[in-house]
Chain A
Amino acid sequence: MENSTHKLEIFRGLLKFKSNETKIWGVLFFLSIVTIVEVTLGINKPEVLIVNSFLSMKLINWIFVILTIVKAYYIAWDFMHLRDEPQGLQFSIVITLIFLISYLAFIFLVEGNYIFDIMYEGFLSWNF
């Protein structure tokens, strides 16, 4: 058992906790703030973030996706204590998933978009 080998700093060493237990509470605090930000944005839907878009996705959706990945990182790194595992294990889990999921998402979303265009511009009508 590697009991005493917890890495106790988060935010690239910006914040260092005294014990593993306080680190857990710290991460919970951070995740709660992120969730609160997400929910507030989701309920209020600021006009600026909806009208403007980047790479044909609304800014608000970019914020949601990025914040979700941030949350996923902290859950995996601190709750699933990947931070304390050897780099080989971290990479074999994370790189596999990042590669396969982004490939899958890319190919399906492009295809979905293509079908939308066909239905939108073509002679087919959904409402027969």
Chain B
Amino acid sequence: MSSTITTSINNEKDLWGGGNRPFKASYGKLMMWFFIVSDALSFSGFLVAYGFSRFKNIDSWPIADEVFTHFPFLHGIDAPMYYVAIMTFVLIFSSVTMVLAVDAGHHMQKNKVAVYMLLTIIGGAVFVGSQAWEWSNFIRGEFGAVETKGGQIFQFINKETGERVALDEFAIESHTDRIQHESNSGVWFYGEGSLPSFTPDEVIAGVIANSQIVIKTEKIDANGHKLILSREESLEKITESKNVVEGANLVNNEYGNRLFADFFFFITGFHGFHVFSGVIINIIIFFNVLVGTYERRGHYEMVEKVGLYWHFVDLVWVFVFTFFYLV
């Protein structure tokens, strides 16, 4: 390329013309780093927005241990965080197989690269699947809650055992039919999702009838636990309930602050989408390895570049894990 140029002036031209390799990295690798830095800034923007909302509602934010309590095949058992911890291990492990693929690529070992790429893809797919499972649990919810006019969530616990009580364990059905709004029955149609299983009145009647039931509010006391009202306060407060909330959507959720579910969907969703696209890119590269594209090209730098992206996704998860599940 520039082998004929010898004078220093021409060399300088060559430098500014892009003929050099800045930081001893190839064009593609440097561009991948550019992308990673800007993507890291997007993620930090989201996480900081989450932190902002959390600091704004610091005395009432949902406690992650009480929200993410599910573990596959252990229904009804309180297992906070174990599953996310396993997801984290899966992702770190798929990161390791990716580095091993890059390393094998440096030594031009085609079969080894292919095997490690395949393991990485499997790890990524397991992670995305786990996240889908996590989402479905989050959306379905377990116990149900009521929401006041001001948007506060009341959860219900048994005064004696101190355990959460699901709505269908105490709500008294009143056998009135609430007709669902449909688009053909009004000029100014507004849609509505599926109706919750109970009306607020049924829940209120249930609380009044069951002397065991007390309200767990969103407020956090000095010891970091949610504030639980006495029976008298519960009876007084329950009359303020306006909506029954089961599970979570973008409008409200049974876990507490509305923003909590929004940020959960947005941040883990955006991260999950990164993992998903990473898996797709890895599959493309995997097939390229199989047909010998990089063997003919003489180097496996492409594996290294998707590797950078894949590790970045892992890196982001480390932060999401800390700020969503641990802190």
Contacts and interface: CB of A to CB of B under 8 A. Distances in A.
B224 A50 contact: yes
A111 B45 CA distance: 15
B96 A28 contact: yes
A119 B58 CA distance: 11
B52 A24 contact: no
B66 to A, nearest CB: 12
Contacts of A39: 81-82, 85, 326
Interface in B46-88: 48-49, 51-59, 65, 80-82, 85, 88
A5 to B, nearest CB: 10
Contacts of A79: 95-96, 98-99, 307, 311, 314
B263 interface: no
Interface string A27-59: 010011001001101110100001000000000
B41 A97 contact: yes
A85 B25 contact: yes
B312 interface: yes
- Residues of A contacting B: mostly: helix
A113 B55 contact: yes
B154 to A, nearest CB: 11
A66 to B, nearest CB: 10
Output the residue of B93, B223, B318 with the most chain A CB within 10 A.
B318
Contacts of B314: 75, 79
A3 B49 CA distance: 41
B299 interface: yes
Contacts of B301: 1
A42 B81 contact: yes
The contact size tier of chain A is 35 or more
A71 interface: yes
Interface stretch (B4-12, B145-153, B168-176, B275-283): B145-153
Nearest to A20: B103
A121 interface: no
A3 B106 contact: yes
A115 B53 CA distance: 10
Nearest to B310: A79
A13 to B, nearest CB: 21
A116 B53 CA distance: 9
A24 B325 CA distance: 27
Contact of A127 (B89, B148, B308): B148
B84 to A, nearest CB: 8
B128 to A, nearest CB: 19
Given A68-B319, A105-B44, A112 B55 contact: yes
Contacts of A108: 48-49, 51-52
A43 B44 contact: no
Top 6 nearest A-B pairs (CB, nearest first) are A112-B55, A89-B23, A112-B52, A68-B322, A127-B150, A108-B52
29 contacts: A1-B301, A2-B24, A3-B107, A20-B103, A24-B99, A35-B85, A35-B92, A38-B326, A42-B81, A50-B224, A64-B326, A75-B315, A75-B318, A79-B307, A80-B307, A85-B24, A89-B24, A93-B33, A93-B37, A97-B41, A101-B48, A105-B51, A111-B52, A112-B53, A112-B58, A113-B56, A113-B58, A128-B149, A128-B150
Interface of B: 23-25, 33, 36-37, 40-41, 44-45, 48-49, 51-59, 65, 80-82, 85, 88-89, 92-93, 95-96, 98-100, 102-103, 106-107, 148-152, 223-224, 299, 301, 307-308, 311-312, 314-315, 318-319, 321-322, 325-327
